[in-house]
Amino acid sequence: MAPLPNEHLRYPRRRHGMDHDRYDWSIMQRRPRVEWPNGAHVAVWIVAPLTWYPLTLGPQPRPPTGVFDDPWPNFRDYTHRDYGNRVGAFRVMEVLDRFGIRPTTPTNAAVCERYPELVQEAVRHGWEIAGHGIDMGHQHDARLDEATEVTMVATALMTLRKATGQAVTGWLSPANAESLSTPDLLTANGVHYSCDWVNDELPYAMRTRHGPLWAMPYSHDINDASMIWHGHHSPLEFVDQVRSEFDWLHAESRQQGGRIFTLCVHAWCIGQPHRIHALERILEHVRNHSGTWTATGAEILAQYQQQVDQS
Q: Which pLDDT band holds residue 4 (cuts at 50, 70, 90)?
A: low
pLDDT digits (tens, 9 = 90+) for 48-102: 999 999 988 766 666 777 777 777 788 888 899 999 999 999 999 999 999 999 9
- Which residues have C-beta within 8 Å of that of residue 33, sequence separation ≥ 6? 256, 257, 258
Give the domain ranges of the chain.
37-310
Distance CA 30, CA 33 (A): 9
Region for 128 from its dihedrals, namely left if φ exceeds 0, alpha if ψ lies in -120 to 50, beta otherwise: beta
Whether the predicted pLDDT of 217 surpasses 60: yes
Q: Which of residues 27 and 20 earns the better pLDDT score?
A: 27
Residue 73 is predicted with a pLDDT of 83
Residue 51 is predicted with a pLDDT of 97
- At the top level of CATH, the class of 37-310 is alpha beta
In the chain, DSSP assigns E strands to: 42-47, 104-107, 128-131, 170-171, 193-194, 204-206, 213-215, 259-264, 292-294
pTM of this structure: 0.92
Residue 311 is predicted with a pLDDT of 46
pLDDT digits (tens, 9 = 90+) for 246-262: 999 999 999 999 999 99
pLDDT digits (tens, 9 = 90+) for 170-199: 999 999 999 999 999 999 999 999 999 999
Nearest alpha-carbon partner for 53 in 166, 127, 177, 136: 136
